Amino acid sequence: MASRPCRRVRPCRRCRSFPGRARWARDTRRMDHEGDDMTDTSRTVGVLGTGIMGSAMARNLVRAGHTVRVWNRTRAKAEPLAADGARVVDTAAEAVRDADVVLTMLYDGGTVLEVMREAASAARPGAVWVQSTTAGLESVGELAALAGEHGLVFYDAPVLGTKQPAEAGQLTVLAAGPAEGRDAVTPVFDAIGARTVWTGEDGAAASATRLKLVANSWVIAATTATGEALALAKALGVDPQGFFDLISGGPLDMGYLHAKAGLILGDRLLPPSFAVATAEKDARLIVQAGERHGARLDVAAASAERFARAAALGHADEDMAAAYFASFDDKASEGPGRA
């Protein structure tokens, strides 16, 4: 009978069957086939960034049986994860040291670059870097280059979804990176998401981030349209329910409209699923990407300005639906339910 090929992420002593990653052979934790648990998919994961998304992802990694170390610039935001079983550390370098997988979920590409420049030298050569922050296309190339300088295997892996799917482990992971290393990241993706969409084998090409920006452009446009429809209804004295009834069941109706409108009408903008300030950042990344590739994106540009105005009115940390308030000056910025 032919021997079954080894499926361990790190090559075992007998077959060393993990192609192109000889460094893994030096991992002192590897075992012989005898007594080896072929179903073991646990990883040591260093999570950098424990905001709305990062904290939810870290919790799901712990629940899936992974060893998780977490770091956040403001340690107090990471501390609650200790009760879930994560180890909270003081520096990014401590989080990535000897980790199998490093996961970055920070504010933007510039922040990731700054943090990883300080931490990457502590990472084990051959470790996988899963970069999930929504970053600009140019930033992804810079991050991939930094990974190469330190011998890290880079995966461009932004996620689609907000607070609730993140907490439920139901994110969609958009991923690009080398095929031969995917066994290393699959258990991580399975812990944080319900679905992984592979977009390519070169993380530096940012094909996953390109798809994420396209998807986010639709989310931002739909959010803007929802807020403006409700703002116009308020200005014209129209009951929003009349609008919902009018489009009910037709091609213009959609669940996202009702979800975001419900937050505005019910004054339930905290805690945010996706904050106004972060939505502004993403809208500007979308506009920049379009400009640099020959596409003028007027809705995204206008949405960025709406998010900025809403933030200036004090709504920066509220759900992105709070862009609704950008339709009014500061003296009239009451929700439609309080008009």
pLDDT in tens, 191-215: 999 999 999 999 999 999 999 999 9
pLDDT of residue 40: 72
pLDDT of residue 35: 36
pLDDT of residue 333: 55
pLDDT of residue 28: 31
Structure confidence by residue, pLDDT tens digits, 267-324? 999 999 999 999 999 999 999 999 999 999 999 999 999 999 999 999 999 999 999 9
- Specify whether the CB–CB gap between 57 and 192 falls below 8 A: yes
Please give the backbone phi and psi of residue 57, each rounded to the nearest 5 degrees, phi first: -65, -40
pLDDT band at 153 (very low <50, low <70, confident <90, very high): very high
pLDDT band at 334 (very low <50, low <70, confident <90, very high): low
Could you identify the residue written with the tokens 């998010």?
307
C-beta neighbour count of 256 within 10 angstroms: 13
DSSP string computed for 243-262: HHHHHTTSTT--HHHHHHHH
pLDDT at 142 over 60: yes
133: left (phi over 0), alpha (psi -120 to 50) or beta: beta
Three-class SS state of 11: coil
Structure confidence by residue, pLDDT tens digits, 44-75? 999 999 999 999 999 999 999 999 999 999 99
pTM for this model (two decimals): 0.86
